[in-house]
Structure 1
Amino acid sequence: MKKLYTLAFLLINMLVFSQTKALTEDGKDVLLLDNGTWRYVNITDSLALQTIKTNPTLFAKSKASTFQIKSKKLDIGLYLNTKIWRISTQTKSPFTEYVFNDVHDENAVGAFMMTEKVQIPTLKNLKDIILTGVQNKVDYFRLKESEYRTVNGLNVIYIRYIANIKGLDFEYAGYYYIDNSGYCGVVGFSTQQNFESNFPVILDLLNGLSPAKRQVVTEVIEYSSPPPPMK
């Protein structure tokens, strides 16, 4: 069985496999499933896509999230609980800096932190870009909610949605942040049927998003002394 985060990368990188689609008499796209049933490809109404609520709650990192990782591209970091999450920098995407897996079962729940140095005017624009890219490539999509939040002093947009990848329903929840240098997204996910049970640890990870000075990457050059001159 492939690792769970591998399937998530297939979605982020838009390398997904299409299933059979059809068009109803009234012009709506439907997805034909292997078990003989079908569902609408996109059941999110236009109002949900356009409307973004504002949550007045001030979100903060958990006391158990004591270890902070930092981006190499932006002034942003993430606090996490290392008793729950295993960290990896070996990713399959040039935009993904870190991958996180459950320390007990890497196929139960996963997450990742992605950054890209491209300027985006507003969080609303970022939401449109993210969701348009997902909708255009997955077989089924449903936006569950989106809202503005304040997390550790940062203004972010929270997005939660369901997407079908090669017959499997995954649910995603993420915080997205922008500054003058680019954008950052921290996203947690699991299979849709297990998402509610995994949601508390996912939200705990998301709430670790915090300001931080980016990592300074230095190039180390080793010099060796030249041999003594020959007599």
Structure 2
Amino acid sequence: MNKLILSAFIIFSFSLKAQIKAMTEDGKEVVLFENKTWKFVNESDAKTLETITSNEQSFEKSKESTFVVKSKNVDGGFYYNPKKWKIVKAPNTSTFVEYAFNNNSNSAVYGLFGSEILPVQSLKNLKDILIPNIQRNADYFRLKNSEYRMINNIKVLHLEYSANVKGLDFEYIANLYLTSTGYTSISVYTYANQYEASKKEMEDFANGIVKADKEKETIVEVIESSDPLPPKSIKKPK
């Protein structure tokens, strides 16, 4: 598996210094930042890493999310509000990402819709593959929430996590849905200092995920000339 939702995990194309990592006396890995602060590389609660809770609440897409795009690979789709989100050029480095989005009111909030043909057995299996890869490629990582949700009458894996990539703090929300031939995902992310103000907008965006027949024809869209901060796909180590 060489794509995953890791396409949504940001490694910027512009040059940024990697952080320095060190070990504490009791063997825990820490990352040292240029401002002389530090964090444990992984601050996830062990129970959050090992278990997936079930949220009994039923979630639905926003009534304003009226425009649908469909995956070209699997039977999954996504509704979004075209008044609040614009489609931008997807990163050329990723074949996983089918659509990239930028928020109209806050240019620091980004979204990605992607899919992969892959025989993943369960959402739990997908989480077990995903999380270790993110941990290996982040300077700092904390899984905040991992739960099953019913969104638009489909069962999804809902993830919320924090990460630091080359000195920049980000917050992520992602929903993943298994199909008969693979999986699709919606992820949305922003800078940590923008998260609280943007959380409702991000949740509404992520709740657009739906079951849909895969797109049989290419949809022509107007692509914005200005790209969001371009994420790259991270390949799983062989």
TM-score when normalising by structure 2: 0.83
Q: How many residues align?
A: 210
DSSP 3-state at the match of 1:74 = coil
Mapped partners of 1:31, 1:192: distance in 2? 17
* Structure 1 residues 165-185: Cα deviation after superposition (integer angstroms, max 9, x where no partner): 110100000101112211111
1:72-221 matches, within 5 Å, as 72-88=72-88, 90-92=90-92, 93-106=94-107, 108-217=108-217
Residues in 1 aligned to 2:178 and 2:192: alpha-carbon distance in whole angstroms: 28
Q: Provide the secondary structure at the position in 1 that maps to 2:73.
A: coil
Query: Structure 2 CA distance, aligned partners of 1:105 and 1:60?
Result: 23
Deviation of 1:90 after TM superposition, in Å, equals 3.2
Percent identity reads: 41
Unaligned runs of 5+ in 2: 1-6, 219-238
| Structure 2 SS opposite 1:112 | strand
Q: Distance in 2 between matches of 1:17 and 1:217?
A: 42
Bigger Rg over Cα: 1
Q: Secondary structure at the match of 1:99?
A: strand
Question: Aligned equivalents of 1:87 and 1:9: distance in 2?
Answer: 19
Higher relative contact order (CA 8 A, sep 6+): 2
Moved more, 66-75 or 90-99: 90-99
**Quick one: distance in 1 between partners of 2:98 and 2:86?**
14
Distance 1:17 1:24 in 2: 22
Deviation at 1:18, TM superposition (A): 3.3
Give distance in 2, aligned partners of 1:185 and 1:45. 24
Matched residue, 1:38: 38
RMSD: 2.1
Q: Deviations over 1:174-207 (max 9, x none)?
A: 1011122111110011001211111111111111
Contact (CA 8 Å) 2:9, 2:134: kept in 1 or not? no
Match of 1:221 in 2: none
Name the counterpart of 1:228.
Answer: none
SS in 1 for 2:204: helix
Separation in 2, partners of 1:192, 1:217: 38
Deviation at 1:8, TM superposition (A): 4.8
Per-residue CA deviation, residues 193-228 of structure 1 (Å, 9 max, x unaligned), is: 21111111111111111121111147xxxxxxxxxx
Any runs of at least 4 consecutive aligned residues in structure 1 with deviations exceeding 4 A, and if so which?
none
